[in-house]
Amino acid sequence: MNELGMSPRRATIVTGASEGIGAELARVFAWKGHEVVLVARRREKLEALASEICSKGGKAHVVELDLCGEGAIDVLEKALEQAGLTPEILVNNAGFGLIGPTAKLDQAEQLAMVDLNVGALTALTLRFLKPIIATRGAVLNVASIAAFMPGPNFAIYYATKAYVRSFSEALAEEMAPLGVKVSCLCPGPVVTGFQARAGFDFSGAMSAMKASLVSAEEVARQGYEGLVAGKRVVIPGAMNKFTVAFARLAPRAVLMPILAFAQNGR
C-alpha cells in the first residue's frame, strides 16, 4: 500500500528504451497491455516514444537516467514509488559494445561497458527481484549470440554477454518454483544505434550482411513471445540459430580464427 492506502499498479521496466531493440520491446509490452517505464539517458527520444504509446491507448512513463551513475537505481525506485508503480517485469536491455583490439581500445570505455552490461543489469535484477517474485512476474535479459562464443576484437563485449546468458539461465532455474519466468534474448546483429557506438561499418562487403539481418521489431516480438512461453533462451532468426549451433560444436582451434577474421572484416 502507498501513503493513500492504494495498492501500487504493476509496471514493466524497460532499460535502454530510447531506440532499437529497447524501444521495440517497450512498444510490444505496451501493445500487450503493460504499463511501461522507459529508462535511458536521452529524454527527448523517451518522451517521443511515450507520446506514441499513450496516443495509441497505452500507458508509459519516462525516467531519464544513467544507470551507471551514483545512486541511479535509488532514483529509479523512487520514481516508481512516486508514480504508484511496483515492478512486475524487468527488461534489462541497456548495453553497448566496442569493436577493436582490446589493447588499443579506450580502457575507461571498456570498463564502462562492463559496468553497464554486467553491473547495472545485475544490480537492477537484485533490487527488483523481491517485488517481481511477489507479483509472480518476469525478467527478460537481452544478451546476444555473442554469449555463446569468444569474440576476438570484441572480447569484452562477448564476455559480458556470456555473463548475461549464464546468469539468466541459472536465475531461471531458481525462480521457476516461485512462478517467475526468466528469459535471455540473444539476437544477432541488428541495425540500430548500437552499431554506430560499437564501430561497425556496413559499407562494402558488410552491406550484404545488413540486408539479411532480423529487424529490431521482429527481435522484440520473438523476445516477448519467448518470455510468455517460458523459454529460457530465445534466438531470433534461422541464421543466428545456425551460428550458435556451429559455435557450440566447433573446436575452439577452428572457431577462433573464423571469429577473428569476421570481426576484422567489420
User: What pLDDT score was predicted for residue 2?
Assistant: 46
Q: Helices 216-229 and 20-31 meet at what angle, rounded to 10?
A: 50
Instruction: Give the lowest-confidence range in 128-137, 154-163, 192-201.
Output: 192-201
Q: Does a structural domain hold residue 256?
A: yes
User: Would you state the cell numbers that stand for residue 260, as one nine-digit string?
Assistant: 577473428
DSSP-based three-state secondary structure for 190:
coil
Distance, CA of 40 to CA of 25 (rounded, Å): 13
Number of domains into which the chain is organized: 1
Domain assignment present for residue 34? The answer is yes
**pLDDT band, very low/low/confident/very high, at 259 (cuts 50, 70, 90):** confident
pLDDT at position 236, please? 97
pLDDT at 198 over 70: no
- Determine the average pLDDT of the residues in 167-194: 92
Residue 213: per-residue pLDDT: 85
Residue 209 pLDDT > 70: no
Using CA atoms of 64, 66, 72, 73 in order, give the dihedral in degrees to the nearest 10. Answer: 80
Mean pLDDT of 206-213: 56
Among residues 242, 194, 243, 237, which one has the least CA distance to residue 215? 237
Backbone phi, then psi, for 195, in 5-degree steps?
A: -65, -40
Question: Measured between alpha carbons, how far is 226 from 233 in angstroms, rounded to an integer?
Answer: 8
**Residue 1: inside a domain, yes or no?**
no
Range of the domain at 197: 9-264
Residue 150 belongs to a domain: yes
Kindly state whether residue 170 falls inside one of the protein's structural domains: yes
Q: Is residue 246 part of a domain?
A: yes
Q: Is pLDDT of 95 > 50?
A: yes
Active site residues: 157, 161
Q: What share of the chain is helix, strand, coil (3-state, %, to 5)?
A: 55, 15, 30
Indicate the pLDDT class of residue 4, thresholds 50, 70 and 90: very low
CATH number where 66 lies: 3.40.50.720
Digit-coded pLDDT (tens) for 144-167: 999 999 999 999 999 999 999 999
Mean pLDDT of the chain: 91
User: Are the C-beta atoms of 197 and 160 separated by less than 8 Å?
Assistant: no
**Nearest-5° Cα angle at 249, 194 to 151:** 30
Indicate if the alpha-carbon torsion angle 242, 224, 169, 74 is positive or negative.
positive
- Domain assignment present for 169: yes
Map grid coordinates 524497460 to a residue: 14
Instruction: Look at residue 155 and tell me if it is in a domain.
Output: yes
Residue-level pLDDT at 205: 43
